[in-house]
A and B are shown apart, each in its own frame.
Chain A
Amino acid sequence: MIVEWVQGQAQLVFSCLLALVVVGVMLLGVAYSILAERWIAAWVQDRRGPNRAGFFRLFGSFHFWGLGQPIADGGKFFLKEDIIPDNVDKPLFILGPATIFIVALVGFAVIPWGGQVQIGDALLNVQVANPDIGLLYVLGVGSLGVYGVVLGGYASNNKYSFFGGIRATAQMLSYEIPMGLAILVVVLATGQLRLEEIVLSQMGDGDVWNVVRHPLACFLLVVTLFAETSRTPFDMPEAEQELVGGFHTEYSSMKFALFFLAEYAHMITGSAFLMVLFFGGWHIPFVPGLQPGDTAWWAMLLKMLVMAGKIALMMVFYIWVRWTLPRLRFDQLMRLAWKGLVPLGLGLIAFALGMLYIGKPQAWVWTLVGNVVILATMLGITALIPSRVTGRQYDMPELPPRTSAPASIGGP
């Protein structure tokens, strides 16, 4: 009894230390992923990105490639005037960014960072908490983020903010459903809600990463993660060309920074979640030191490094997509969610139920074949449905017949 109690306390202390480290690294990562975003944007658009802000010119004219930029930005956020307009709902106006920022940090609690580590006699989970309901916790906390956006949009008393907030609500709610369905596929296959157990189920004899077993569910989760974090092509809530800045039009200085940091923190949490569910978390096959039996402290550090590397890759993917794909229109966005992703998710669930019944939920060859069949069926049905001009009402006059010569841009 006493030994177990002491062990629990060791875990508690370790968890607290880990939480501090993770939050520190995460905030630094957020600051530098903003810099990475600007670099990659500049590279995509063939121009120079931020490359001037160095460290006090200590080294002559050498600027460290602009690595001082996040620090300079941070200083500016503190020093600039914070305008609260006259007609806003003041408590809610402050509560909006606070909510979204705090919620973005809390989501980290159940992410497994590096398996288990042996310190003294105690075997400790490298995880702030390892509850039975890990997945439900991530989902619940993740969808709390919508409150920040809604509060910010509503409290601003600005039409742009209001429409941005309303759009954000509809978008996040619509994409919660396919997200839940995609995760449900993994839960059905593994029978686990513990994130650590889901990581462990992807390694061992004959086991492969879940992305091989359930590629369509992985695709579904990636798409919904883009929508949940309101990244392009789903950045309707803050569509600059239409809504000025959307829900954060009225926000300035530190309150704007909180929204900005929270967006990137959500991206990091989402990436970590994706890596845990579909890409084996901290695991790489056949690499010594990254197997579940390795519990030395250096193995823990190696695993955390691998996890961070995977998250960084996903962040680069986010940024890459942002500067590649154009934004969807709102009706296209809703159509994609309700008529594309939800039926796909329901199909995947039905298939996962079947595989579960015959007792082979994780036989990856068969799930792969099933995924291909589902994809082919979906594409076939899509091809059979006659396409019509979107955004156009049924009861409008017919369009003039299309001529073979290319029409002028914009059409009649």
Chain B
Amino acid sequence: MPLGNSLMVAQVISSAVPRGDTSVQLISGLLLLGGLGFALCFGALFLGWLIRPRRHNMEKDAIYECGEPTIGSSWVQFDLRFYVVALVFIVFDVEIALFWPWAVVYGGAGVDAADLLSVKTLALFDMLFFFGVIVVGFLYLWRFGYLDWVRSTVSQQRRVPGASLAAATGEAKG
């Protein structure tokens, strides 16, 4: 059978499959796989708990930090740069998430883009504006050094009016 025919058959077939039941399928699949994972995970832990030895001692129950006695808790304040990464991630992820439904609707809307004033063109320019906002935000982050993992004081001094890059490095040298 030539490929074109088989594709047409496939399209006919995929339109013949009832689509109303997919959410039931998804939920049942999710529950089944999740339940299976839950059972396997806690079943294995429980089975092991029944048969494995338990011999506690103080040394064994201590936190392993290369044999040195532990100093303090590890739940301490951590570097602020991780916070910036999380913040930038949220902004970007939400923006990309808004892109997805648009991509599906626009991509499925057919291919006649001749008329400049059609809804399709307007939708494209809407999305380009949105995309531009993402890019400008990204360039802002880049310009002011939020994407640099190793930060220096220079990028902060750059923002102070009158302080040039050369002056900043000169100060650091002196």
Partner-B contacts on A (CB < 8 A):
4, 7-8, 11-12, 15-16, 19-20, 23, 27, 77-87, 94, 97-98, 101-106, 108-110, 115-116, 123, 125, 128-132, 136-137, 154, 156-162, 166, 169-170, 173-174, 176-177, 180-181, 184, 187-193, 196-197, 200, 203-205, 207, 244, 249-250, 253-255, 257-258, 285-286, 291-295, 330-331, 334-335, 338-339, 342-343, 346, 349-350, 353, 356-361, 390-397
Decide: B14 and A105 in contact? CB cutoff 8 A. Answer: no
- Could you tell me the distance in whole angstroms from the C-beta of A198 to the nearest C-beta in chain B? 11
For residue B117, CB closer than 8 A to chain A, the reply is no
For residue B115, CB closer than 8 A to chain A, the reply is no
10 closest residue pairs by CB, A with B: A191-B107, A204-B7, A292-B10, A395-B172, A359-B111, A102-B37, A293-B6, A331-B149, A105-B37, A128-B29
For residue B135, CB closer than 8 A to chain A, the reply is yes
List which B52-88 residues lie within 8 A (CB) of chain A. 52-55, 60-66, 73-76, 78, 82, 85-86
B-side interface residues, number (CB < 8 Å): 100
Decide: A361 and B107 in contact? CB cutoff 8 A. Answer: yes
Decide: A78 and B34 in contact? CB cutoff 8 A. Answer: no
Q: Answer whether A191 and B103 are a contact pair too, CB < 8 Å, given A109-B26, A180-B96.
A: yes
B interface, over-half SS: helix
A11-B21, A253-B48 known; 5 new pairs, CB 8 Å cut-off, are: A86-B61, A109-B29, A173-B86, A187-B100, A293-B1
For residue B164, CB closer than 8 A to chain A, the reply is no
Partner-A contacts on B (CB < 8 A):
1-7, 9-11, 13-14, 16-26, 28-30, 32-34, 36-38, 40-42, 44-45, 47-49, 51-55, 60-66, 73-76, 78, 82, 85-86, 89, 92-93, 96-97, 99-100, 103-109, 111-113, 121, 124, 127-128, 131, 134-135, 138, 142, 147-155, 168-169, 171-173
Q: Which residues of A contact B106 (CB under 8 A)?
A: 188, 191, 356
Report the separation of the CA atoms of residues A177 and B134 in the bound assembly, to the nearest whole angstrom: 12
Q: Answer whether A15 and B29 are a contact pair too, CB < 8 Å, given A192-B107, A291-B6.
A: yes
